[in-house]
A and B are shown apart, each in its own frame.
Chain A
Amino acid sequence: MDQEARLAFWLLFPTFIVVLVFVIFPVIWNLWLSLKPVSLGDLRGISLFKFNLTLENFRKVFGDQHLGPGLLTTLIYTIGGSALSILLGLMAALLVHGEFPGRGLLRGLFISPYIAPVVAVTFTWSFIVDPQLGVLNWLAVDKGLLAQPIPFLSQRWWDLDLLGVRVRMPLALISVILFEGWRYFPFAFLFILARLQAIPDELYQAASVDGASPFRRFYHITLPQLSTVLSTLFLFRFIWTFNKFDDIFLLSRGQAGTKVLTIKVYDYAFGEFDIGASSAVAMVLFGVLSIFLIIYFRWILKED
């Protein structure tokens, strides 16, 4: 028994070290930085270890009038992007679930947005939707679909006339959410397809004989069978999108109503050279995400 315990210790030890160095230490270090007046210049030198703790950074961050709207933007971006990527993934998985020639090729193609380098795809999309140089706007204007080009990534609001009702749409935010949905649907697609293939055909046959139409078979068999994978996917996508920085930064630089909190972290650190405030925003992100996870797990546990 003693020997087994020792073996278990040595087997777990490397993992423990990795978690300590790459997970626990950065969180504590970030908390430490957020509680001190640290500027970019202070990152080298002995002053980092001084015990001059203060809540000044948090006071500054919470006093920032952009924090509330930034959090709201982050939530809209996260929920919209996660939901859209899962929805697209579900549709794609259903599309290539059956047997048809070229299925393998199509499945492979569906993965490509996920594996292409982010810099490449953001630049590609930026060029496609660019109001002056972009092929999309050019085509739409040329064919008479649009009176003038739409600056998808640089205009905050877009007034739309829907059957006489004027609707104000956050254009740039919607654009980056669409990008997020496009880029990450393959992730959801792979998970959903795998689960979809594991559902026995006989369940569908039984439901057909029981009198269920195709739509009801989807609603009563497929969806419940996918519920676990869908909720797990939403959890993953929520966490990752909430912390997402590169995609949105490369597309819009956080301009035109797309300033999520991760870009705020960047702005404080490299715009104002205020590492302390930057760390404080990161801690706010961490806190909000933790609250979300607690609620989510409570809800999931209750469901089961």
Chain B
Amino acid sequence: MSVMQALDLRRRSASSVPPLAAGKPAAVPVAKLIDVSKCIGCKACQTACLEWNQLDQPIGYTDGSYDNPTDLTTASWTVMRYTEYEHGDDLEWLIRKDGCMHCDDPGCLKACPAPGAIVQYTNGIVDFISDNCIGCGYCVKGCPFNIPRISQVTSKAYKCTLCSDRVVVGQAPACAKACPTQAIYFGTKEDMIAHAGKRITDLKSRGYQNAGLYNPPGVNGTHVMYVLQHADKPSLYAGLPDNPRISPLVGVWKGVMKPLSLAAIAFAGAFGLMHYVTKGPNKVTEHDEEKAAEVAGSDKA
């Protein structure tokens, strides 16, 4: 796992990124592979995430399930989601580690209005730069996975960083390091896809005909991928989107609307100016004043 990489930028919210200097190669794309079939639901990954990132998840309330906390929060950047899947006489416990998927085409970054508040490194990791974040919540609207959470205290958005600070020095993310069953792998995306292939072959040989890799093409693939026993039905896994993509509404809002709107405003201004220059002002004449005086006078008489 010693993929040494500099954190060069590939994308930067609300700004353009100059291409890398000539001769400087982009970092190798990395990925985290979560093998749901090997997860025992121990939550070591959740704990490791809290510890490494020095997060404090306040003690809350249980809703009677194993999900604890019950949802992602500004402190809990990853949460185990437990699903009891009954089919025929069989009961399967599907345990999915939820968190940022690090989309190759990140909707949060596309939606973000603050320059540099969301960045994507050349290795594929999508990171929130809190210093530039204005707390508007547009990332929440852009995300196809419902991941970012806005703090009521700091008014900043938070989510999994894929331990970009560890990855940059050649370490695997804290969750991967802590996992006792090696259900979480980390490496180059290419290696992770190859490894997933072996796991899927194994699962298929054991009766999971629909086992497969979750690397959704709708967001151009993700840098966090799942091996699913039932890859034909991702939504079984606590509502994992079957075909995630950036909402077309966000596409319109952050796409054609921006240039068209400015063009419309510029056109309206230019039209006004040209009208004044060609047609001139609409002036009250002496004749109008006289007629007015006449009417006013006759009324008074």
A and B pair up: no
Residue positions of A touching B, CB distance < 8 A: none
Listed in ascending order, the chain B residues whose CB lies under 8 Å from chain A are none
